């Protein structure tokens, strides 16, 4: 017999990997009503706020998608490593971008996410890819390593 938490994690991974503008409405199937989501830019609570983050992702970026690479589960907790693929809409529009990161998920007894904390290096994975800011970030990195 399969573990209900493992089954929930399978469903969550499938949700993330097949996320579309339309499926954002299903966040409540995977997140508890008062779930917290935190990443390097946002710290929000509640399904509507989490849905807004995913909806904004589709309006701000071209072809965003997640590929889950690994998962480590222990009881009601899970850590996923992933690649986030996308293209910018406003510059370097034809260039595929990738952010490497990880997510710590805590699940409730029903297998819904109560805490979703993303870990990724905004400087290396995002700022260095931006015009003007990217040059400054590379200069700062080189100075720090000198």
The per-residue pLDDT for range 52-65, each reduced to its tens digit, is: 999 999 999 999 99
* CATH code where residue 73 lies: 3.10.450.50
Q: What number is the average pLDDT over the span 111-124?
A: 88
Higher pLDDT, 9 or 139: 9
Residue 140 lies in a domain: no
- 30 CB neighbour count, 10 Å cutoff: 21
The whole-number pLDDT of residue 143 equals 59
Task: Tell me: pLDDT of 105 over 50.
Answer: yes
Number of domains in the chain: 1
Structure tokens of 99?
């952010």
The CB-side HSE value for 12 (13 A sphere, CA atoms) comes to 27
Residue 65 lies in a domain: yes
> DSSP state, 121?
-
Residue 108 lies in a domain: yes
Distance CA 6, CA 74 (A): 9
- Confidence band of 1 (pLDDT split at 50, 70, 90): very low
Residue 59 near residue 84 (C-beta atoms within 8 A): no
Residue 123 near residue 138 (C-beta atoms within 8 A): no
Residue 11 lies in a domain: yes
- Confidence band of 36 (pLDDT split at 50, 70, 90): very high
Q: What number is the average pLDDT over the span 42-46?
A: 97
């Amino acid at each position: 017999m399969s573990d209900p938490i493992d089954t929930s994690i399978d469903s969550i991974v499938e949700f993330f990997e097949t996320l579309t503008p339309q499926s954002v409405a299903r966040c409540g199937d995977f997140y508890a009503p008062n779930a917290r989501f935190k990443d390097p830019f946002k710290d929000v609570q509640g399904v509507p706020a989490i849905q807004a983050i995913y909806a904004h992702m589709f309006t701000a970026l071209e072809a965003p998608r997640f590929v889950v690479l690994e998962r480590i589960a222990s009881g009601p907790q899970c850590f996923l490593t992933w690649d986030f693929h996308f293209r910018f809409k406003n510059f370097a529009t034809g260039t595929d971008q990738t952010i490497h990161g990880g997510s710590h998920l805590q699940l409730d007894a029903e297998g819904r996410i109560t805490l979703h904390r993303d870990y990724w290096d905004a400087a290396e994975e995002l700022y260095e890819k931006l015009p003007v800011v990217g040059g400054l970030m590379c200069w700062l990195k080189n100075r720090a390593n000198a």
